Structure 1
């Protein structure tokens, strides 16, 4: 129990530190979200009075007349109530509305692609490492080269080949805008068609890292005493592979998977930019361009919670999978 209590205390402190940085870092950037919003208002022919500016400051939670520490505690209080503020870049929508609309797109695209790349990479890595020296080792150089290719370049190559030249997949977007959104097969098939190519880019570019890491761990694990003992007992190779070697070799990969799974919520900014995919990555770029403090803080908050939550779950599972972790701690 002390092991789990320490883990929970550590992540609680990490969450508080992340929330504090989430508040102060955007305010260190040049510019002001109120000025951005009022400039848009004036472009549409509106007049700005001191009372109008004061009202927008209160609305966006950037009261310039209030001390920074008071704003900080107000920010924490609003978070406790679930109030993330109003977005400047998509005004008058709230940050919660923007996140709810874009988060599902990112989770479905990057989440599924990340899980697939992990499962494929770890599975192939376990098999290649178990049969090291065989023809399967020839898979490693190809996947390593693909992992070393700049991500945006690989995405552009896929767009050129599969979208522009072969016309197999749509060029950009998340779905056919002429369709009505809903849980119907026509819309779902359109989202699958639009999301296949960016998902393929993510899988191809990241599977090599999982494969190489798992393969090296399998080679190291294969020389352990308990593997030799299992062979001496006459256990089948398949059982030794799955129950003994792979179970221990996958532990370092699980830690890396937790981090990558946490960053799924943030999406892949490059992916969504190249393919014009309507996820959180595009909203993050939009919020930075418009000095949208509230939306930036909301997105970073979701990223923080996802990363810490994923790492906490894996840490707790780590203690269950490997009892030695609890003993050392």
Structure 2
């Protein structure tokens, strides 16, 4: 991937931004250096923060009322990075509807909505206006996950038969799962492993899990529409300083592993080590494992978390899709629907009881 800097694009989107929080300051606004974006306005409920962000990121205008901003600026697209209501609802869902009705495409940070009912309302507005809504599913835009996806499509890897995903997240106790506020943390983070599972393996059609009450950790068994199987280990209680996640996909005599999002090993098919007769663990060069990881020494863009965490790629994909007049390939509302199906099942499904997920549920 060769990067184009913002000033090198011949055509840019006039974009507004709703939200002036810490996450957006660190991880979203800075991506505009590498995307076809002309930032025209920033909006936040705290006008002073909006003004500070507007100055810092080169926007000429700041607002504390998004309706006023949309009416005055008429942006091509709006980026939304906000929080939750006091009741535990996702603020960005209604904001996205307002932006669509004002004629602007929408990029919004996950979670897109607090449930499928809210997602349905957003989908209806998107369908009515014919405009794009894309969610920031950063995990499936990382260089590592895109490479895994490419490997899975090769004849040498074979059909993916199973997957294991480990991610540190606690699932609240059963009596708290009907409380939207208590479920904020789980909703916020299930989007990450959920996006990886569905991106690499397709929709989940059956799920069952066991739950540990002290930390809230859980292990789920999954059956995918393809017939493949998998596990999702939500490893609450793991050390804060430990590598955050691990993904492994098994094919036909081959497997690929990604540790911590930046260390990737592809164990290729074809190596032979006859049991009891092999004197060396070294395999032939043509079938030896392939390993990738960034070097973190040079001032290269791939060493920036904005790139290896997927932030720049997802923003560029949104902008280029809108400019080309075509829907995004990833981060769609259809992708979000599959993740929210998992979320709603965890809310209502007791441990130890499997459930089937219908294709259109």
On whether the aligned pair clears a TM of 0.5, the verdict is: no
TM-score by length of 2: 0.20
Tell which structure's C-alpha radius of gyration is larger: 1
TM-score by length of 1: 0.21
Looking at secondary structure, tell me which structure has more helix per residue: 1
